Structure 1
Amino acid sequence: MKRYISRITNWPTPFPFRNLNFFMVDKERNFGSKPTKEPINNEEGNQISDMLIDGFGRKHTYLRLSLTERCNLRCQYCMPAEGVDLTPSPKLLTHNEILRLANLFVTSGVDKIRLTGGEPTVRKGIHDICSDLSSLKGLKTLAITTNGITLAKKLPMLKQCGITNLNISLDTLVPSKFEFMTRRKGHHKVIESINAAIDVGYNPVKVNCVVMRGFNDDEICDFVNLTVDKPINVRFIEFMPFDGNVWNVKKLIPYSEMLDTVVRQRNFRP
């Protein structure tokens, strides 16, 4: 069984692994290229609008849509304990506005949409939104990033409504540490959602893990072990600064150090 780990970074992998497949976001970036006037198509063969091609000739065919600011967790690196001031409902995108906006991007060449939040599964009408988005001609991938708290019970319908890819956020495998970090209970619900996603056929199920020194850096290889017998792709994410999340460089573990940890403890050789 192959083990899958990926990371969110634009830096090149320092060396290949025989037993690990590393996936990178924007792996086709080319800073040396010049703008092109030739028509460019996406993977579906649809022509990409000039508005989605930047000054370096890079194609932007991936759209993230935030469905809500609401969240049922209060992760310390993301949100203060008291929450945040929410945008008044009249100023939020309606169902029809989401569909119209998505259609404009898809007809311009976007072929992947990711639904985010807040926590997107708490958005009212999430199933109808997914169903309508998945019916857009030219859309290849409809993904969702979720904390997994309410996912298990909604998953069968979400899959039926067209969700093709899942990212589930989980920063620790220890329930007490989960409660400390998120200021909420529910670790077992996230694990249940991961297993439910596997059961309904998602392959791989992507698990996003923000690594912080002194909190969960001792669990890196425990997360790797999840991938041995299950179709799980763990994405280790560097701790990033946000306004009010008390970011400290001492908590940051660069991806190179994460790789060294895996190589050393799992006896992988480059």
Structure 2
Amino acid sequence: MPADGVELTPKPSLLSQNEIIRLADLFVSSGVDKIRLTGGEPSIRKDIEDICLQLSNLKGLKTLAMTTNGITLGKKLPKLKDCGLNALNISLDTLVPAKFEFMTRRKGHGRVMESINAAVDLGYDPVKVNCVVMRGFNDDEICDFVELTRYKPINVRFIEFMPFDGNVWNVKKLVPYSELLDKVVR
């Protein structure tokens, strides 16, 4: 969630439903077989179900995916599944509600977890969870995230934090892949 004072993209600058469908149709007719809806946050669009339905009807499209923060997804997910959404990535950087609230500047951890569980219950296999790992923030939760995958069709994808501080590379929060692997193997 952006800090206060960050201007959101004006609505007229966002692609309309018709523009999205037209572009997708052009891509699919050119051989693209996977479309991913991303954001901002795609699940807050009032027309997201209609968009999914129209996209899923494009001849040649095999995968209709969404990357979401999961906060508003849970209630819409059954309808989105019926409308053809067949792949899902949910961003979640912490399993600790207080850390979630600190990072996102709002409550909603429970709703994200409900969305993940709803996706599993609806048969999404796998449900992909994207986690950006940051030293001193959530690097102590690596094994807890891995545990999510033990009994449910959940794939956790650990993403290295890109530590840019202005125009300077800041490695203090970076947790390299090799260190992540060491934490899991131990």
Interval containing the TM-score (normalised by the shorter chain): over 0.9
Which residue is 1:66 aligned to?
none
Residues of 2 paired with 1:219 and 1:88: CA distance? 37
Residues of 2 paired with 1:149 and 1:86: CA distance? 18
RMSD: 1.6
Identity level (%)? 79
Residues of 1 paired with 2:127 and 2:83: CA distance? 18
Matches within 5 A, 1:150-229: 150-229=72-151
Higher relative contact order (CA 8 A, sep 6+): 1
Matches within 5 A, 1:74-223: 74=1, 79=2, 81-82=3-4, 84-223=6-145
Residues of 2 paired with 1:242 and 1:98: CA distance? 32
Residues of 2 paired with 1:258 and 1:241: CA distance? 16
How many Å apart are 1:83 and its aligned residue?
5.4
Residues of 2 paired with 1:147 and 1:88: CA distance? 21
Q: Specify the SS of the correspondent of 2:93.
A: coil
Residues of 1 paired with 2:165 and 2:10: CA distance? 21
Residues of 2 paired with 1:174 and 1:241: CA distance? 22
Residues of 2 paired with 1:89 and 1:175: CA distance? 31
Which residue is 2:162 aligned to?
240
> What residue ranges of structure 1 are gaps of 5+ in the alignment?
1-73, 265-270
Q: What TM-score do you get using the length of structure 1 for normalisation?
A: 0.66
> What residue ranges of structure 2 are gaps of 5+ in the alignment?
none
Residues of 2 paired with 1:204 and 1:106: CA distance? 24
Residues of 2 paired with 1:243 and 1:130: CA distance? 37
**Whose helix proportion is higher, 1 or 2?**
2
- Corresponding pairs, count: 185
Q: What TM-score do you get using the length of structure 2 for normalisation?
A: 0.94
Cα 1:247–1:121 shift into 2, 3 Å: farther
1:231 pairs with 2:158: no
Q: Specify the SS of the correspondent of 1:113.
A: strand
Which residue is 1:3 aligned to?
none
Per-residue CA shift, 1:220-253, capped at 9, x if unaligned?
A: 0011111111111000001124686x97311011
Per-residue CA shift, 1:30-87, capped at 9, x if unaligned?
A: xxxxxxxxxxxxxxxxxxxxxxxxxxxxxxxxxxxxxxxxxxxx1xxxx3x1153223
